[in-house]
Structure 1
């Protein structure tokens, strides 16, 4: 019996993952030939992927070059409004529909992520995994699709709010409150806990951005 072949990612997914991981940051120029070499694909699918990402506002034009887009203050505020409501809804639905196995996975994530405090990059990756698990536990495919779009736009933020001093500890305490509400099947509490969590993250990001502008 033949071993199943690993799933090959297309150029679009490879570029999107690279942006999400911070390999390409807002303002970085994306060159078709360099991307084709980096990912070992031909230039035609890379060109098509770049066009698709530009249409989705993930990339913008700087003269003739394509660069990773960035979010201005108003776009950031609008994104967080949508994210807060959708994430809150996901938590409410997770409290109703999550299986015992899913709640145990969420609980183990909180416990394991405590080891990552002090490493903002690792904590940011773990944070994305945690939120994705909450989305999946909602058992609503349409909501998951919309949240995927929101989180794709979150990749356009140059830094993580978890880099702020003390934010890692408080974020995990907030995750703990979310999981506890889901375990209890308390939809209202889960909704509010996740909304509060996103609100604190947004507040922290605004403070970080204000500090950078002051230094600049």
Structure 2
């Protein structure tokens, strides 16, 4: 791979991660020169990365400027429907195809993440790693590609549902239930447990948004 392609890939990954962790939030304007300075990358790969992110609908035009896109209520609902089904399929396939080492990794993640239940931002990062591990354990490259797209779009949500009071502890219990089903090779139970997990997260997010709307 030549240096230009390496820089382009790095620039894309750096900007995407910054959006994912909330450095840049929906509505924030992204400026080539500022990004190049922040990440120590030349403006050409930054420009190419911005074009790629715009093509993926993670950025949108506001006049001549590019801003981080936002999701309206209907887009968010549609995204959760797709995520629920794809994640459920990943869990079902993981129950069938995951090797013992992958299952041990999932169990270790759940145990380690218990220490983060009162740290929503750190738990959100751990949550993404947990779900990505299930995706990989499905051993289906095409499903992983689609889930990567879904999770990139999830970055457009400004807050994590794990910030809701008590949600971290509940989510961890849900993760344990998912892993237990995968370990028992029960595809139906694993799929349903993960679908239920996504549904609860969606309800939690809707409740938080409804509460924000009625604040004075």
- Please show how residues 1-216 of structure 1 align to structure 2 within 5 Å: 9-215=9-215
Deviates further, 8-17 or 142-151: 8-17
Measured in 1, the distance between the counterparts of 2:146 and 2:16 equals 16
With normalisation by structure 2, the TM-score equals 0.95
Map Cα deviations across residues 65-107 of structure 1 (whole Å, 9 max, x no partner). 1110010000000000000000000000000000000000000
Measured in 2, the distance between the counterparts of 1:132 and 1:114 equals 18
Structure 1 position 21, deviation (Å):
1.5
Q: Which runs of 5+ in 2 are unaligned?
A: 1-5
Structure 1 position 41, deviation (Å):
1.0
With normalisation by structure 1, the TM-score equals 0.95
Q: Which runs of 5+ in 1 are unaligned?
A: 1-6
Measured in 2, the distance between the counterparts of 1:113 and 1:13 equals 25
Measured in 2, the distance between the counterparts of 1:52 and 1:115 equals 37
Measured in 2, the distance between the counterparts of 1:23 and 1:41 equals 17
Measured in 1, the distance between the counterparts of 2:206 and 2:178 equals 23
Structure 1 position 43, deviation (Å):
0.8
